[in-house]
Amino acid sequence: MLRRHLLALAVIAAPAAALAQGPEIAVYTARHYDTDAQLYEAFTRATGIRVRTIQADADQLVARIRSEGANSPADVFITVDATRLARAEQAGILQPYASAAIDQRVPAALRDPNGQWFSVTMRGRVIMYDKQAGRPEGLNRYEDLADPRFRGQICVRASNHPYNIALATSILAADGAEATEAWARGVAANLARPPQGGDRDQFRALPSGQCRIAISNTYYLGHVGRSERPEDQALFQRIGVIFPNQAPGDRGTHVNVSGAGLVKTSPHPAEARRFLEFLVSDQAQEILAQGNMEYPAVPGAPMHPLLRAMGEFRAEGIEPLRDPAHATQALQIMQRAGWR
């Protein structure tokens, strides 16, 4: 569960004597995974630089950095969702990270063109189905979810969750406001039940027949597949995954990203840049991807076999998500269309 209150945590992974007089950076992060502690420890072992984390949700962290002003101890900002990263950029708390190493390893489609932040991991927002019931015919694009043939078949969480706001923002950028409203109205008409629960609840409803189609992020299914419970492993084997919009010339599957940036008032910019470059190293990408069932942002970096088993896909870039105003418009469209 996301910790809503700010929490400072010093992660020390090298001998105390070696670290007693060593440098330290402060990472303000909205991520809340055990895997990240392993990441910080690996960085400290490699560099001798300690990592102290401040955890809260993204908006709280941005507000804190702004209120701390020039005296902020924050060196690095990390959060989930490209729109939140864009909000941090607009709030003026970031500066260009200025690293050729990062730009060489992370594709341009997953980096802010102004050089203020970059993606570290990806999660595909995909369509899932029950293999025993068969793949729904004619379902290849996100736009197909609005087709009346799927009336009463879709399970999805509430429209106001950032995952769905980001997906609708992608539709808005690709198809325009009028088409996006028609799409959202069609999805709302095709719901099997009122939106409820989280992403896992959507695909868990497939085998019982509550719905035939579920919308979820890939890493949730990956976590189920990694579970030691036989019933979870059986569920993973039963769920099929459709990566939408993969035809030649189409835009690719929408992805949510985790990303990082260098804080404008960083008191330790050199050490912070070393940490940012470490995030795109093979070692860090493997820790992040293997530990939390996310796709690496660096092409060719190690990927968990369960994710590979879901299939390969071409990802859409983050450009549609860079304007927070579009996210606001997308949410208004969904709610006006009856997607609650």
List pLDDT tens digits, range 296-312: 999 999 889 999 999 99
Q: What is the dihedral of CA 76, 303, 162, 264, to 10 degrees?
A: 10
249: buried, middle or exposed (CB in 10 Å: 19+, 13-18, 0-12)?
exposed
The full DSSP string for 69-97 is GGG----EEEEESHHHHHHHHHTT-EE--
65 inside domain: yes
Q: Residue 33 annotated as binding? A: no
Contact 107, 101 (CB under 8 A): no
**pLDDT tens digit sequence for 51-81:** 999 999 999 999 999 999 999 999 999 999 9
pLDDT digits (tens, 9 = 90+) for 86-106: 999 999 999 999 999 999 999
What pLDDT does residue 291 have? Answer: 86
Could you please report the per-residue DSSP string of 220-286? HHHHHHH-S-HHHHHHHHHEEEE--S-STTS--B-EEEEEEEEETT-S-HHHHHHHHHHHTSHHHHH
- Whether residue 56 sits in one domain with residue 163: no
Query: How many domains is the chain built from?
Result: 2
- Provide the pLDDT for residue 8: 39
Residue pLDDT, tens place only, 122-148: 999 999 999 999 999 999 999 999 999
Asked if residue 207 and residue 330 are part of one domain, the reply reads: yes
Same domain as 278, residue 147: no
Are residues 195 and 324 both part of a single domain? Answer: yes
Query: Does the pLDDT value for residue 14 go beyond 80?
Result: no
Which structural domain, as residue segments, surrounds residue 118? 7-122+256-302
- What SS3 state is found at 256? strand
Residue 13 has pLDDT above 60, yes or no: no
Q: Looking at the structure, do residues 148 and 213 belong to the same domain, yes or no? A: yes
Predicted structure pTM score: 0.89
Residue type, 4: R
Task: Please state, in angstroms and rounded to a whole number, the distance separating the CA atoms of residues 82 and 119.
Answer: 8
Q: Is 220 annotated as a binding residue?
A: yes
Please state, rounded to an integer, the average pLDDT across all residues of the chain: 92
pLDDT tens-digit readout, 147-204: 999 999 999 999 999 999 999 999 999 999 999 999 999 999 999 999 999 999 999 9
Residue 14 lies in a domain: yes
Measure the CA–CA gap between 222 and 160, rounded to whole angstroms: 24
The pLDDT score that the predictor gives to residue 16 is: 40
Neighbours of 180 (CB within 10 A): 23
For Cα atoms 327, 331, 332, give the angle at the middle one, nearest 5 degrees: 115
Residue with tokens 């609005």: 146
Banded model confidence at residue 33, pLDDT cuts 50, 70, 90: confident
Cβ-based neighbours of 220, under 8 Å, separated by 6 or more: 198, 199, 200, 203
Rounded Cα distance, 137 and 314, in Å = 21
Domain CATH for 45: 3.40.190.10
Q: Are residues 332 and 248 in the same domain?
A: yes
The number of CA neighbours under 13 Å toward the Cβ of 249 is 0
Cα distances (Å, whole numbers) of residue 205 to 149, 228, 274:
20, 20, 44
Q: Is 163 labelled a binding residue?
A: no
Where do the DSSP E strands lie in 56-199?
A: 76-80, 94-95, 117-130, 154-155
Residues 140 and 176 in one domain: yes
Are residues 106 and 176 both part of a single domain? no
Instruction: Say if residue 3's pLDDT is above 70.
Output: no
Strands 295-296 and 117-130: antiparallel
Same domain assignment for residues 143 and 269: no
Lowest mean per-residue pLDDT among 151-160, 208-217, 251-260, 302-311: 302-311
Confidence of residue 21 (pLDDT cuts 50, 70, 90): low
pLDDT at 18: 41
**How far apart, in Å, are the Cα atoms of 320 and each of 76, 239, 258, 326, 329?**
24, 29, 16, 8, 13
Residue 310 lies in a domain: no
Closest CA to 8 of 53, 51, 49: 53
Count of CB atoms within 10 A of residue 143's CB?
19
Residue 78 and residue 197 in one domain? no
Q: DSSP character for 240?
A: E
Question: Quick check: 86 and 34 in contact, CB under 8 A?
Answer: no
CB distance 297 to 120 below 8 Å: yes
Same domain membership, residue 151 and residue 116: no
Lookup result for tokens 């497939």: 206
Same-domain pairing of 91 and 37: yes
Q: Residue 260: in which H helix or E strand, if any? A: strand 255-263
